Amino acid sequence: MKWRNSLAENFILITGRTVKQAAGLHKGKESEEYRRATELVEMNSDDMARLGIGEGQVIRLRSSAGQVEMPAHSGTVPSKMIFIPLGPGANSLIGPETEGTGMPSFKGLTVEIEPI
């Protein structure tokens, strides 16, 4: 696949609701609260240490649909998995294919990560 970078490492992306994302959207999608709540990547702390990613460090994420840069934070996700709250940041990585259902793959997508 052309989008893959041999120096980066592959992870499984899960997107979903968070309490801060929900609270942020009431403040307005242009608000700082919403932006902070949706533009972040939760990672396993062992993965962060292995890749030399510090808490809050901005990383580059790339999928077959696009790429985005966001700060990484340690969270309760298994190794080789990342979580991004629903929102414009995650949308940059989600492909438009719906397999004839109307539903894009918002969970289980392969993305590659590299520290910048």
Strand partners, 42: 73, 83
- Report if residue 102 touches another protein, rule: CB under 8 A: yes
- Report if residue 17 touches another protein, rule: CB under 8 A: yes
Q: Minimum CB separation from another protein for residue 4, in Å?
A: 19
- Report if residue 103 touches another protein, rule: CB under 8 A: yes
- Report if residue 83 touches another protein, rule: CB under 8 A: yes
Contact criterion met (CB below 8 Å) for 93 and 15: no
d(CA 38, CA 22): 10
d(CA 27, CA 16): 19
Q: Which of 2, 52, 96, 116 binds another protein (CB under 8 A)?
A: 96
- Select 54 or 78, whichever has its Cβ closest to another protein: 78
List the structure tokens of 91.
């949308």
